[in-house]
Amino acid sequence: MTIRIADEPYPGPAPFQERDHGRFFGRAADAASLAELWRTNRLTIVSGPPASGKTSLLRAGVFPQITGGRADVLPVGRVSYGLTFPLASLPEHNPYTLAVLRSWSSPAGAATRLVGRTVLDFVRRRAERHDGLILAAVDQAEELLTETGQRNAYRRRFLAELAEAIREESRLHLLIVVRDEAMGAIAEVLGSGANQRVEPLSPESAREAVTRPIAVTGRTFTEDAAERLVADLRTSRFGAGSDVGRGTQRVAVDDHVEPALLQVACSRLWHELPPDRDVISADDVRRYASVDTALAEFCAHVVAEVADDHEMSSGELRSWLLRTFVTDEGRRGIAYEGAADTAGVPTTAARQLEDMHLLSAYRRSGSRWYELLSDRLIGPLRHAADLRPPPADATRYLRAAERALALGEPELTGRYATASLRTSAVSDFQLRAEANSLLGNLAFEANRPGEASQRYLDAASLFEALEDTNAVAYQLAASGRALIANDQLADGVRQLTAAVDRLPNDLTIRTDLALGLWQLGEGNAAVAELTSALGLDGGNPEALRARGEILAYVGNARDAMRDLDRVNSRGRPLTRAAHGLALARLGDQPAAEQEVRDAVEEAESNGPVLLYAARAMSVGGDDAAAEGFAWRAVDAWDPPLSSEQREVAIQIAGRKHKKPTQF
């Protein structure tokens, strides 16, 4: 018989996807129970150890059971989605919220259309268009648990948004998929909800996962052949290094099978089996599917890839694994995860080994610890070859860079993205543009706006060659905002104007242009630009918010109040400060002072917020408070004032008992 590659029944260590449901077996009961929990509960949390098959269960097991009915089933959400989009082109936003909303949209929602929306906003708009339940899922939610400064705040706000959406919209049924170690942090905010734990495969389920997929290709296992393969995957041999091969090892048989290791062994069998072998015997399993050989090859390839990514040799990394995670008695050892390194190797390497199913992590007494995924890997790891680095794969490097950026690992992000550019074909304009855009995001987040602007311009040139006008516009807008952040106001406004010329109906870009004009000192031109933009969509919250903030600044308090009263100021300290300034101009000083002080408390290092506070206090006649806020504005850094705004702040700080001139 002739076997086509498309018929390949086993995915190897990669998770099953929706398209693979016809070859996904061994989890029928789990899939049915999880689908029912999802349909009947506002919140369902699926947890389990790494590599237990959570993603595969969701995508290939549950999704086929819930699609096609009355429910509005959203695509699977990820908090690391879409990080090659030029994020500097967008107003201040929560990257986790935006990533999940974009991944929930089908096709993937435009970032400028979704930015600024909360999860509840998004869900309510979906509810307006559908009659049934809204079934939404977030996979790999442990990606939220980065421990870097600002991303902690984003994580808290995003989880609060999810909790609000569950509470306020009864038709939303949310499913969260998360590793065990992160479940407590998720449940603490969202509540415990309904729970289902995903365990490794039982022997019976493992035999089904071995035999059923290959039957689709016309081949079958004899009963003893499948039993032999599963038994071999369950059996581990222990002993000190000197005991290996001398018959003095101890044997232990697990009561379960790791799904990832099963797929590795079965994939090797499939590729090694002669094409004329329709009935697979126990002898065939012994000859073509040696579990030890399959797992040794798996270990070797994982070690080679991770070592190359971290500028190590395969031999160095494999020696570290054996030294750190195999005890003198030949059992699994453990190692504590440090902030920068784990037992002498970069922690980013340990995390990558976890993601690739060689290590497993768990929390104990507030700390994170690693061990080998399974005892079954000890022998194969000892016998793994020290391979040369794998062939360069620019796409893999780029996807790895996205995940590293989501996890708050800037050094690794830069290394992967640079490797993607270095190894990509010169003619692969799309990939090279995305890599440059991601490097622009990295530089912008690290407060290197000049570098960010150049990266975005490089991406724009590549997208121009692809004749992708929309992408060019977003890159130019990002470059413009980066230049403005670098106090190159005139150049930034020119870039934003070029972006608007290409995409005149995008209100986010037009709002960015208006804000640039305002910072340049052209307040009336900024208001005119926003009024024109709002002619396209009179309810656009970002344009209304920006116009209200600028109107308050230039002295048109009543019109400012009309705009600001139409938008939500929660989590928007500048909007609150502008509201306070408008109230001060209208004579309500007590309310103005409360708004301003609340805004400053929320954003104490924000230059524009402090400048608004200074002007509000000055309008109300409190020159001492105005002077104090003005000097704080001059020294502020998150973000700093533009050069034009800084001059205004210095004037306020140096003037007493005089009404401020308008900016």
* Contact between residue 614 and residue 584 where contact means Cβ atoms under 8 Å apart: no
Residue 592 forms part of a structural domain:
no
Q: End of a domain among 293, 321, 352?
A: 293
Residue 479 has pLDDT above 50, yes or no: yes
More confident residue, 25 or 117: 25
Q: End of a domain among 293, 316, 351?
A: 293
* Contact between residue 465 and residue 429 where contact means Cβ atoms under 8 Å apart: yes
| Domain total in the chain | 3
* 140 shares a domain with 168: yes
* 184 shares a domain with 232: no
pLDDT at 148: 58
Residue 246 has pLDDT above 70, yes or no: no
* 181 shares a domain with 44: yes
* 258 shares a domain with 186: no
Coil, helix or strand for 134? strand
Residue 202 forms part of a structural domain:
no
pLDDT at 367: 87
Residue 604 forms part of a structural domain:
no
pLDDT at 154: 87
Phi first, then psi, for residue 169 (nearest 5°) are -120, 100
User: Residue 324: which CATH number?
Assistant: 1.10.10
pLDDT band at 464 (very low <50, low <70, confident <90, very high): very high
β-pairing verdict for 359-364 and 345-346: unpaired
pLDDT band at 655 (very low <50, low <70, confident <90, very high): low
* 323 shares a domain with 284: no
CA distances from 315 to 1, 303, 322, 373, 498 (A): 41, 9, 11, 20, 52
User: Residue 63: which CATH number?
Assistant: 3.40.50.300
**CA–CA separation, 507 vs 486, rounded Å?**
23
pLDDT at 417: 96
pLDDT at 443: 96
pLDDT at 2: 38
* 188 shares a domain with 142: yes
Cβ-count burial 90-128 (b if 16+ within 10 Å, e if not): bbebbbbbbbbbbbbbeeebebbebbbbbbbbbbbebbe
Residue 617 has pLDDT above 90, yes or no: yes
pLDDT at 529: 96
pLDDT band at 521 (very low <50, low <70, confident <90, very high): confident
CA distances from 179 to 6, 92, 166, 366 (A): 31, 30, 21, 16
What share of the chain in percent tops pLDDT 90?
A: 76
Residue 439 forms part of a structural domain:
no
pLDDT at 67: 84
Q: pLDDT tens-digit profile of 258-271?
A: 999 999 999 999 99
User: Residue 214: which CATH number?
Assistant: 1.10.8
Q: What is the mean pLDDT of residues 52-78?
A: 93
* 341 shares a domain with 275: no
Residue 237 has pLDDT above 90, yes or no: no
For the beta carbon of residue 155, count every other beta carbon within 10 angstroms. Answer: 21
Q: pLDDT tens-digit profile of 291-350?
A: 999 999 999 999 999 999 998 999 999 999 999 999 988 899 999 999 889 999 999 999
pLDDT at 570: 77
Q: Is 436 exposed, middle or buried (0-12, 13-18, 19+ CB in 10 A)?
A: buried
pLDDT at 662: 43
Q: What is the mean pLDDT of residues 604-609?
A: 94
* 152 shares a domain with 63: yes
Residue 281 forms part of a structural domain:
yes
Question: Mean pLDDT of all residues in the chain?
Answer: 91
Q: End of a domain among 293, 308, 323?
A: 293
Residue 100 forms part of a structural domain:
yes
pTM, full prediction: 0.86
Q: pLDDT tens-digit profile of 408-440?
A: 889 899 999 999 999 999 999 999 999 999 999
* 188 shares a domain with 124: yes
Residue 61 has pLDDT above 80, yes or no: yes
Q: Could you tell me the residue range of the domain that residue 118 belongs to?
A: 27-197
Residue 247 has pLDDT above 60, yes or no: no
Residue 5 has pLDDT above 70, yes or no: no
**CA–CA separation, 393 vs 419, rounded Å?**
9
Query: C-alpha angle 321/322/328, rounded to 5°?
Result: 140
**CA–CA separation, 356 vs 374, rounded Å?**
13
Coil, helix or strand for 499? helix
Q: What is the mean pLDDT of residues 69-84?
A: 92
Residue 215 neighbours by CB under 8 Å, 6+ apart? none
More confident residue, 643 or 120: 120
Q: pLDDT tens-digit profile of 372-414?
A: 999 999 999 999 999 888 888 999 999 999 988 888 889 899 9
Residue 561 forms part of a structural domain:
no
pLDDT at 36: 96
Residue 657 has pLDDT above 70, yes or no: no
* 303 shares a domain with 288: no
* 215 shares a domain with 148: no
